[in-house]
Structure 1
Amino acid sequence: MGVFLRALRALFLLAGFYLLCLVVLGVFAGIAVAVHHWAPTLAALKVDVILLLLALPVVRASFFIRPPEDDGEDGLRLSKAAQPELWAVVRQAAEEAGTRAPDEIRLTGSVNAAVAENTRMLGLMPGRRRLHLGAPLLTGLTQAQLMAVLGHEFGHYSNADTRLSAITLRGRHAVTRTVSAYHERADQRVEKERARQEKKAGRARAKGKKPKAVDTTGAGFGHRQMAKLFVAYAKFYLRATQSVARRQELAADRVAVRIAGRDAAASALRQTTALDAAHGFYLRTYATVGIPAGLMPPHGQFYGGLARLLAEPERQEELAGLRTGLPEEETSPYDAHPPTAERIRLIEELPDDGRGHLEPSGPAMALLREAGRVLGELEDVTLTAEALAMRRVDWPELLHLGLRAGCDADAEPLREAMRQALGGDAGLRTLLDAADAGALWRVADALPKSEEAGRASGRAAREFARPGLRYGLSRLVILELVDAGLARWEMSWSDGTRLDLSDDYGDRLSQALEAAVADTPDTRPLRELLPRALHPTTF
């Protein structure tokens, strides 16, 4: 489908949405006229109010709200003067794709590359172009793979996809805004009705009467029904536009193959998929683990630490496994991208272009001058003010203190149960003394329960409570050992983090915990492992 036909189709779908809005408003107007003609004035005015409330989301969300524009403020701007090597590669990729190079490069913190164009007249007139390039891609890709990624993105430019996206994005935004507006109005009606009924029930209780149960079933009914109408068109709109978007992605893949070669294009897709998983693991396990303790990695290492993870031989083996065994993704009719496995298969089925021996190359990060400084500047413009204000510590201290804070939070449900069941102090000594006094299962009964556990009683209730009780107790014990200097979380870029306890000590601790949460609790084995301050006074 050529550019003209794609533009015509996008305009037709957008016009269809506004036509639907006009039809809805026309029906409302017809109902209002008919009611004024046949019904009493007071009833007609009530209908007018209802119709006005139903029409407002259509008018406001469809005609008076402009779609958000890319203001270019996302990420760190990389100037041509400061990063000439990267800009040279970008210009080369654009030239080989047969399109105009971007006017701006923005470095971001995501495992993604994307192009945008601030067009005019719904995409009919070209505008300023911008390339968004994720720092994790520079960290984990070779220069040949980066060229393939750039070739794919500039394929969208050469196929006029970025210009036409202004039309389709406007339509998607209008549809979703209208649906959201109806759901918001319905929710507001439900909350208003709930508050009215609860207030009425409160007055009934004050008079000694039994209040009626709160029932908001009918509240917001009209808005929910209107939302269903626009959801139906939204599904049609997304299906129609996404089929075109998928063809655009495959066409952009062919541009990537032409520029970087078949093998580089396929390996770039495989590596990007593996990088996405590795980056998520890195953020969860390393970069953000200190946040509960108000800590951040050294400046520049929030994004820079990923390179240290990827450099470990054990991690490289894991990445190789991710690259080889791509999971089959569940496809959605609304997803703009075909499954990655399908894209790779189509590329690898192409004839050998003889450029496979050229695929290995230097790391893409080598194109960035003063990479450490740049990654630090990226933190300054992408992280929240709260994150930037946190104290910076080295990785070992970050992991240890962050995991201690997490352990402390995990122990809080048991502490709260102790406050409810026992009152007063909620420390480990209190819990062990309560267990010796036969009150442990009273504490366990105060722990949060699932619906099924809440219905259980006797032996069954105890079995439901035991795992949570044991886990909370283990958190309290670990905190005591850590604070006494008898244990510490140790980090490793190859193995993650682990609590530094000898195997013998760890086995004894596990057995002691089991004894402490037995039907007849025995705290003596556990006390013998803990600091002397937690031993019974008779010791």
Structure 2
Amino acid sequence: MGMTLRALRALILLCGFYLLSVVLLAVLIGLDALLLTEVHGLLAVKIVAVSALLAVPLVRGMSMLRSPRGEDPPGIEATEQDEPRLWALVRELAHASGTRVPDRILLTDDVNAAVSERPRLLGLIPGPRRLDLGVPLLIGLTEAQLRAVLVHEYGHFAGGDTRLSALVVRGRVQIGRVVEQFHARADSKVAAERARQEQAAAKRVAKGKKAGPVDTRGTGLLHRMLAAIFTWYGRLCLRASQSTARSQEFAADLAAARVAGRDATASALREIPAVAASYEFYLDSYATLGLPVRLLPPRGAFFGGFAELLAARADNLAALRAQLPSAPVSPDDSHPPIAERVRRIEALPADGRGAAGGDGTSPAVLTDPARTWAALEDAVLRTEILAFERAAGWPELLDAAMADALSSAHTPLHRALAQYTGSPATLPALLDVIDDNRLWRLAERLPMSEEAAAAKGRAFRAFVRPSLTDGLRTMVLAEFSARSLLRWEFSWSRPAAARLPGSLAAQATGDGPEAALDAAVAAALADHPDTGPLRALIAPELPAPA
């Protein structure tokens, strides 16, 4: 579809919003006129009031003459004085793509790169242009892959795809605003009705009468119906432009292959989903590990540690690259499935430019990556989080986080033991239950499948033993941790492993204290339980019963 037809369609879809609003206003006015001929007095006043409340969001949405400016995403400004190499690369690729160089570069914490522009007169007059470049993406890509990503973004401007963005954005923002207002008013009416019914119920109870349940099912129904109409129209607009948007993505990929090389473009497309998944894992398992104990990684390591994770998990990354998603994120996604994009690029003839720009990592284009990682922390982390203490290193951060997690552990075994004994779940209490031959009666209180619950004897014990093992091991580790006798082995390539001091392994074999702990736990949960090895391992605090 050419530029003229795309412009016409964008204008029609925007006009459709106003037409829909006018039609709904006309329906409201028509219903009022019809009803007011039949009713009078207080009921007529109520009808007019309800119609006015329904009309307010429509009028507000229609009166929004311009899209809100919005704010920059959290990040740090990369000036040409601070980052000359990055600016040289950005300028080179913009010229090679046949488009204008961005006016600003903003480094963000997203796994994303995007070039945006604020045009005037609905896209007829170009405006200031900004490149948002995610630091996790910089860390995860090679320089050749980064070149391909940037050229892809420039490809949208070179092809004129963004010239009509003002029309599209304005329509989406207006529809979103109207839907939001209708839902807000519906929620407000539901809250008011709930409060009224609860107050009435309280009065009935105070008088010794029975109060019925609170029912707000029909409250705010008209507002939600109108919100549903605009939501439907918004989805219609998205679907109407979806095929063109996906064609534009394919065209931008071809532009990237032409300028940066086929292999570099294909590898970048494969790498981005892998980097995104790895970054999510990194944030959950490493960077935010110490937040429950108000502890942050060393200065600059909150983002800088991501590079260490990627280097240590090369095999995992290779597996992620090979498992490309074959479907879009959602039916309304403007991007084609990544697998289809890779297939199209890899079907192009080889051009020998897969390593264009060198094989180095993207952070090499920054003057001082460590300084950038530290500055980004200050820009994107909340003030209250920045006030947390800094760990001396990742091992210290892990020890503190795991000690807190163990002290507050609440496994299914903890819950079952507390219910069974009627007292707090402790390791001594559990060992006493085992020594009294009540372990399997306790195990009946664990959550389990119907098949496990129906099993008897040895089959039942086999079903519940994994849950018992996990719970008992956690309780033993919590005991060691409470006595400051437990350390954790930090690793970028595998899960953290508990390390027990050799002095605790009085009965350890040549395999070390961890093997002794595993053997002691297994003995305590055997078909004929024996807590002796476990009590000896954690003596003298928990002596065996007389």
Q: TM-score range by the shorter chain?
A: 0.7 to 0.9
- Runs of 5+ consecutive residues of structure 1 not aligned to the other structure: none
What is the SS of the residue equivalent to 2:217? coil
Relative to structure 1, is the Cα distance of residues 57 and 412 closer, same or farther in structure 2, using a 3 angstrom cutoff? farther
TM-superposition CA deviations, 1:375-401 (whole Å, max 9, x none): 111111011112211111111111221
User: Within the alignment, does 1:294 sit opposite 2:294 as a pair?
Assistant: yes
Kindly state the Cα deviation for residue 414 of structure 1 after the two structures are TM-superposed: 7.3
Q: Which residue of 1 aligns with 2:121?
A: 121
Kindly state the Cα deviation for residue 510 of structure 1 after the two structures are TM-superposed: 3.7
Q: Which residue of 1 aligns with 2:94?
A: 94
Q: Residues 72 and 130 of structure 1 are in contact (CA less than 8 Å); yes or no, is this contact kept in structure 2?
A: no
Kindly state the Cα deviation for residue 153 of structure 1 after the two structures are TM-superposed: 0.7
Kindly state the Cα deviation for residue 341 of structure 1 after the two structures are TM-superposed: 0.7
Mapped to 2, the partners of 1:238 and 1:363 lie a distance apart of 37
- Runs of 5+ consecutive residues of structure 2 not aligned to the other structure: 501-512
Greater CA deviation, 262-271 or 215-224? 215-224
Q: Residues 139 and 363 of structure 2 are in contact (CA less than 8 Å); yes or no, is this contact kept in structure 1?
A: yes
Match of 1:390 among 374, 388, 411: 388
Mapped to 2, the partners of 1:354 and 1:420 lie a distance apart of 68
Q: Residues 282 and 306 of structure 2 are in contact (CA less than 8 Å); yes or no, is this contact kept in structure 1?
A: yes
Equivalent AA in structure 2 for residue 323 of structure 1: R
Q: Which residue of 2 aligns with 1:219?
A: 219
Match of 2:538 among 517, 520, 530: 530
Q: Which residue of 1 aligns with 2:346?
A: 348
Matches for 1:450-469 after TM superposition, within 5 Å:
none
Relative to structure 1, is the Cα distance of residues 223 and 422 closer, same or farther in structure 2, using a 3 angstrom cutoff? farther
Relative to structure 1, is the Cα distance of residues 468 and 215 closer, same or farther in structure 2, using a 3 angstrom cutoff? farther
Equivalent AA in structure 2 for residue 475 of structure 1: T
TM-superposition CA deviations, 1:137-167 (whole Å, max 9, x none): 2212222111111100111222233332222
Mapped to 2, the partners of 1:319 and 1:465 lie a distance apart of 35
Kindly state the Cα deviation for residue 130 of structure 1 after the two structures are TM-superposed: 0.4
What is the SS of the residue equivalent to 2:395? helix
Q: Which residue of 2 aligns with 1:337?
A: 335
Relative to structure 1, is the Cα distance of residues 24 and 437 closer, same or farther in structure 2, using a 3 angstrom cutoff? farther
Mapped to 1, the partners of 2:86 and 2:540 lie a distance apart of 61
What is the SS of the residue equivalent to 2:209? coil
Equivalent AA in structure 1 for residue 492 of structure 2: W
Kindly state the Cα deviation for residue 356 of structure 1 after the two structures are TM-superposed: 3.7
Kindly state the Cα deviation for residue 458 of structure 1 after the two structures are TM-superposed: 13
Mapped to 1, the partners of 2:219 and 2:433 lie a distance apart of 50
Mapped to 2, the partners of 1:439 and 1:26 lie a distance apart of 75
Q: So what's the TM-score if we normalise by structure 2?
A: 0.86
Mapped to 1, the partners of 2:339 and 2:406 lie a distance apart of 39
TM-superposition CA deviations, 1:183-231 (whole Å, max 9, x none): 2322333333233223333333333333222322222221222222122
What is the SS of the residue equivalent to 1:496? coil
Relative to structure 1, is the Cα distance of residues 288 and 100 closer, same or farther in structure 2, using a 3 angstrom cutoff? same
Mapped to 2, the partners of 1:194 and 1:115 lie a distance apart of 47
Q: Which residue of 2 aligns with 1:405?
A: 404
Relative to structure 1, is the Cα distance of residues 237 and 511 closer, same or farther in structure 2, using a 3 angstrom cutoff? same
Relative to structure 1, is the Cα distance of residues 397 and 62 closer, same or farther in structure 2, using a 3 angstrom cutoff? farther
Kindly state the Cα deviation for residue 255 of structure 1 after the two structures are TM-superposed: 1.3
Mapped to 2, the partners of 1:99 and 1:201 lie a distance apart of 67
User: Within the alignment, does 1:151 sit opposite 2:151 as a pair?
Assistant: yes
Q: Which residue of 1 aligns with 2:165?
A: 165
What is the SS of the residue equivalent to 1:126? coil
Relative to structure 1, is the Cα distance of residues 80 and 246 closer, same or farther in structure 2, using a 3 angstrom cutoff? same
Q: Which residue of 2 aligns with 1:174?
A: 174
Q: Which residue of 1 aligns with 2:307?
A: 307
Mapped to 2, the partners of 1:110 and 1:36 lie a distance apart of 56
TM-superposition CA deviations, 1:105-148 (whole Å, max 9, x none): 01111211011112222222211110011112221222211111
Q: Which residue of 1 aligns with 2:321?
A: 323
* Larger proportion of helix: 1
Mapped to 1, the partners of 2:379 and 2:16 lie a distance apart of 40
- Report the RMSD for the aligned CA atoms in angstroms: 3.3
Residue identity over aligned pairs, in percent, reads: 47
Greater CA deviation, 118-127 or 179-188? 179-188
Greater CA deviation, 268-277 or 376-385? 268-277
Q: Residues 468 and 525 of structure 2 are in contact (CA less than 8 Å); yes or no, is this contact kept in structure 1?
A: no
